[in-house]
Amino acid sequence: MQLGQQIKKYRNELSLSQDALAEKVYVSRQTISNWENDKSYPDVNSLVLLSEVFNTSIDNLIKGDVEVMKEQVRSEDKKEFEKLSRVFGVMLIAAIITPVPLAHFLSYFGIVIWGILWAAAMYVAILVEKKKKQFDIQTYREIIAFTEGEGLDEIAKAREEGKRPYQKILLACGAGIVTLVIAIAFAMLLR
């Protein structure tokens, strides 16, 4: 928000007219109007008086509605994370489903195509993991809470952090099983 919008917002919250606010900060009504319309800016003394009248810090008055800005950043981060997650999901499914048909119909060229697809999926997976570390979300519950714009309380967060080592073991076992299935499929295909 602009400083003028902040002054107007706080003035309206206190149900003050421009004249009443002008009296409290020792300026004219026209000066208040100019501040609110961004035609001029208050000096340091006026900023101090405004912050006292509005019962807020000068920092909040100048920076604007910090919560609104934080929410906008969180929303953008959430959208980016969801987009990366969808791309990774599609690429992972393609990497799992396509190796046998590509190898069968295109032989070695199909294996090269699958390798490129797999490498791209792993690159997107690395990007997703960086985002997960950036926002400290690892478990399914943490990811769902993040995408819904919420956070977990301290107890729930501690419980989820306790689950992380077990989930990594299960993830490694799952990856091993998928690899084994793909290897068996290739072996059967190449007979």
pLDDT tens for 19-62 read 999 999 999 999 999 999 988 888 888 889 998 999 988 887 87
The verdict on 105 and 132 lying in the same domain is yes
pLDDT at 1 over 60: no
State the pLDDT confidence band at 89, using cuts at 50, 70 and 90.
very high
pLDDT of residue 153: 76
The CATH number covering residue 52 comes to 1.10.260.40
Token pair, residue 188, equals 């059967």
State the pLDDT confidence band at 137, using cuts at 50, 70 and 90.
confident
pLDDT of residue 53: 92
- Which among 64, 89, 106 is the end of a domain? 64
Max mean pLDDT among 18-22, 72-76, 133-137, 144-148 falls in 18-22
The verdict on 55 and 134 lying in the same domain is no
Question: Long-range contact list for 5-10, CB < 8 A, 24+ apart?
Answer: 5/36, 5/64, 6/61, 6/62, 6/64, 6/65, 7/32, 7/35, 7/36, 7/42, 7/50, 7/61, 8/36, 9/65, 10/50, 10/54, 10/56, 10/61
Closest Cα to residue 38, out of 6, 11, 85, 79? 6
